[in-house]
Chains A and B, each alone.
Chain A
Amino acid sequence: MFEPRWKTTLKALLYLSPALIVIAVFVIYPMFRSVWISFFKDYNIFKHTGSGFGLDNYKWVLNDGRFILALKNTTIYTIVVVPVSVVIALFTAVLLNSKMKGMKLFETLYFLPYITNLIAIGLAFKFIFNSTYGILNRILGLFGIDTIMWLNDPKYSLPALIIFGIWSGLAFKIVVFLAGIQGINKQYYQAAKIDNTSRWRTFTKITMPMLSPMIFYIGIISFIGALKTYVEVVGLYGNNPGPADTAMTIVYYVYDLFYGANEPPRAAAASVILFLIILVFTFIQLRASKKRVQY
């Protein structure tokens, strides 16, 4: 209700300054700086000098076989992990919404993976996936399935990463969906019950439409998150992105260029490309949602 004046503006700036200084130095400045660096063919990060201004780095990255592979892996990972985990999470949330005893306990258990350290739990997955004494192969063996080299066979390394990715992303989605379902006005369900609506129809005709904005929101967040997958790879494979780079993601590629190959300008170019990919897909999804989201 107070109106802004120079005195109040000055005071506000004082309150804002600690955060704004940090944000300016570590968010705003690097945003432009990195894009700037990405245009230099050679850039010395110690002397802040560069030469060969142009699109060379972008051309190089887009022609790099490892980048194409990373793009392919990340795309497969994303289009499997996002829909599968959203569907499982939605289904689980509906079950957790039953008016039965013990649901709070289940909710607590399901949410546990959310807080976990992916490097640490990645070791547990590594152990589970181990080809000789991992429990997964031993259980599959009971059904007569031959030993699978989950982490060493190029055919299975990406599926292993996908399994890990689905597992680690479920908790968050379940909790958000459950909160969304519980936020739907109970009267819709009471009305449906009076009209003797079947469970399946109640789900498809009430829960899904009412939840569609949230499903869409979670979809976009998971989509962006999946495009940026990185720590899962480290957790599962450690020092390499799977056999023959079969589990290499775009972000892994970026860091590998930056840290492993010591090519900051090329890494910067790759990260800008990643940003553009995210931007384009988010835009497309937002456009699509205008037609699909039901209210």
Chain B
Amino acid sequence: MKVRLENLTKKFEEVTAVNDATLEFLEGKLTGLLGPSGCGKSTTLYLIAGLFKATSGKIFFDDEDVTRKEPEKRGIGLVFQNYALYPHMTAEQNIMFPLQNLKVPKKEARKRALDMAKLVHISELLNRKPGQMSGGQQQRVAIARALVKEPRILLLDEPLSNLDARLRLEMREEIKRIQRETGVTTIFVTHDQEEAMSISDQIAIMNEGLLQQVASPQEMYRNPVNEFVAKFLGNPPINIIETEIKGGKVDAGGFLMNTGTLPDQPVHVGVRPESFRLDANGSVKAVVQAMEYTGRETLLFAYLGEKLCKVIINADIIFKKGDSVSLSLKEKSMLLFDLEGNRLYV
């Protein structure tokens, strides 16, 4: 099932939560809906679920217009951040509940619930109530409950943000596995860029109600359409150097880039911390200010001229404050943005 939004807009009195969004969620894939809190991503999800009614625009499931359909008629499964399990029911009763709404015979409902429990690895917990389960286990039950009626689309609203760091990594893999095994079209809302990058086949990134970019994680990381996307993805975040185009060239902390026919103007140059290379023959000298060890690699804070930049280097190299290092940088890893934040292409 393909999900298509056409000029979708949602206004709450004065606030426009979703502004004219047009986008397609790929069939059988997992799409991450990413953005800072308040950007309209959860509203978009609830619009797709039918819990909100669109102010204008349309929502299509394949070619069927579902914009005016009630949530229960849309054939969706929804998993909430706080799981929303019914506290007085066991895991099994929770999973069976949607089927009972559909008047599925008890025997069949039970069998399907057991199958689901097997899929999400909670077969041995079926008789427990939510209060007797860990967060991760509750999350599995919630996923099973969402999937048991074989929805056309699975919607997940910040499903991992209530879990601790370890469980989050584990459940991330689990959701990916379950999505692959079932092949259900999945939309996953998160504010965590790392989570979105690692789990998604495709990412849609939003800010202040506006859809910014839709692309695969790699494409979006390497080729952001604007400064917001460039800054939102990546940790440590991208370095932004304020400078200007003069006579077809730009000088970013000593690194020069040909800007072709672009007119003279002030610009921001974005450089990812891992794009720099330690290079004895490097064209630019930087002065080390501080180092931060993360184990796998080392984060170097160094002055490129006036600008303090973050540079990722190999973990076994050690510098002191005040050391001078030579850096090199490929021209194509410099991203150019105008002052409105729009990407400038050479």
Residue-wise, chain A 1-33 has the 8 Å CB interface mask toward B (1 for contact) of 111000000000000000000000000000000
Interface of B is mostly: loop
Asked if B51 lies at the interface with its beta carbon under 8 angstroms from chain A, I say: yes
Q: Which of B36-85 contact A (CB under 8 A)?
A: 46, 51-53
Residue-wise, chain B 14-54 has the 8 Å CB interface mask toward A (1 for contact) of 00000000000000000000000000000000100001110
- Is A1 in contact with B46, judged by CB distance below 8 angstroms? yes
Q: Could you say which residues of chain B place their CB within 8 Å of the CB of A2?
A: 51
Smallest CB-CB separation from B51: which chain A residue?
A1
Q: Could you say which residues of chain B place their CB within 8 Å of the CB of A1?
A: 46, 51-52
Q: Could you say which residues of chain A place their CB within 8 Å of the CB of B46?
A: 1
- How big is chain A's contact interface, by range? under 10
Q: How far is the CA of A2 from the CA of B51 in the complex (A)?
A: 6
Nearest CB on A from B78, distance (A): 12
User: Interface size of B by Cβ–Cβ distance < 8 Å?
Assistant: 4
Q: How far is the CA of A1 from the CA of B51 in the complex (A)?
A: 7
Interface of A is mostly: loop
Q: Could you say which residues of chain A place their CB within 8 Å of the CB of B51?
A: 1-2
Q: How far is the CA of A2 from the CA of B53 in the complex (A)?
A: 8
Q: How far is the CA of A1 from the CA of B50 in the complex (A)?
A: 10
Q: Could you say which residues of chain B place their CB within 8 Å of the CB of A3?
A: 52-53
Q: Could you say which residues of chain A place their CB within 8 Å of the CB of B53?
A: 3
Q: How far is the CA of A3 from the CA of B51 in the complex (A)?
A: 9
Q: How far is the CA of A279 from the CA of B153 in the complex (A)?
A: 58
Q: How far is the CA of A2 from the CA of B71 in the complex (A)?
A: 10
Q: How far is the CA of A1 from the CA of B52 in the complex (A)?
A: 7
Q: How far is the CA of A157 from the CA of B44 in the complex (A)?
A: 72
Q: How far is the CA of A1 from the CA of B84 in the complex (A)?
A: 15
Nearest CB on A from B241, distance (A): 44
Q: Could you say which residues of chain A place their CB within 8 Å of the CB of B52?
A: 1, 3
Q: Which of A72-122 contact B (CB under 8 A)?
A: none
Q: How far is the CA of A3 from the CA of B53 in the complex (A)?
A: 8
Smallest CB-CB separation from B49: which chain A residue?
A1
Q: How far is the CA of A1 from the CA of B43 in the complex (A)?
A: 10
Nearest CB on B from A1, distance (A): 5
Q: Which of B122-179 contact A (CB under 8 A)?
A: none
Smallest CB-CB separation from B50: which chain A residue?
A2
Smallest CB-CB separation from B12: which chain A residue?
A3
Smallest CB-CB separation from B52: which chain A residue?
A1
Q: How far is the CA of A1 from the CA of B157 in the complex (A)?
A: 15
Q: How far is the CA of A3 from the CA of B52 in the complex (A)?
A: 7
Residue-wise, chain A 197-230 has the 8 Å CB interface mask toward B (1 for contact) of 0000000000000000000000000000000000
Q: How far is the CA of A1 from the CA of B10 in the complex (A)?
A: 13
Smallest CB-CB separation from A5: which chain B residue?
B53
Nearest CB on A from B74, distance (A): 14
Q: How far is the CA of A45 from the CA of B51 in the complex (A)?
A: 53
Smallest CB-CB separation from A3: which chain B residue?
B53
Q: How far is the CA of A252 from the CA of B53 in the complex (A)?
A: 57
Nearest CB on A from B42, distance (A): 10
Nearest CB on A from B32, distance (A): 23
Nearest CB on B from A59, distance (A): 52
Nearest CB on B from A233, distance (A): 47
Q: How far is the CA of A163 from the CA of B46 in the complex (A)?
A: 61
Q: How far is the CA of A3 from the CA of B46 in the complex (A)?
A: 12
Nearest CB on A from B50, distance (A): 10
Q: Which of A22-70 contact B (CB under 8 A)?
A: none
Nearest CB on A from B18, distance (A): 14
Nearest CB on B from A133, distance (A): 57
Smallest CB-CB separation from B53: which chain A residue?
A3
Q: How far is the CA of A1 from the CA of B46 in the complex (A)?
A: 9
Nearest CB on B from A6, distance (A): 13
Nearest CB on A from B184, distance (A): 24
Nearest CB on B from A2, distance (A): 7
Q: How far is the CA of A1 from the CA of B71 in the complex (A)?
A: 12
Nearest CB on B from A269, distance (A): 47
Nearest CB on A from B76, distance (A): 15
Nearest CB on A from B232, distance (A): 27
Q: How far is the CA of A2 from the CA of B72 in the complex (A)?
A: 13
Nearest CB on B from A32, distance (A): 35
Nearest CB on A from B23, distance (A): 22
Q: How far is the CA of A3 from the CA of B11 in the complex (A)?
A: 12
Q: How far is the CA of A1 from the CA of B49 in the complex (A)?
A: 12
Smallest CB-CB separation from A1: which chain B residue?
B51
Nearest CB on A from B38, distance (A): 16
Interface CB pairs A-B, < 8 A, 6: A1-B46, A1-B51, A1-B52, A2-B51, A3-B52, A3-B53
5 nearest A-B residue pairs (beta carbon): A1-B51, A3-B53, A1-B52, A1-B46, A2-B51
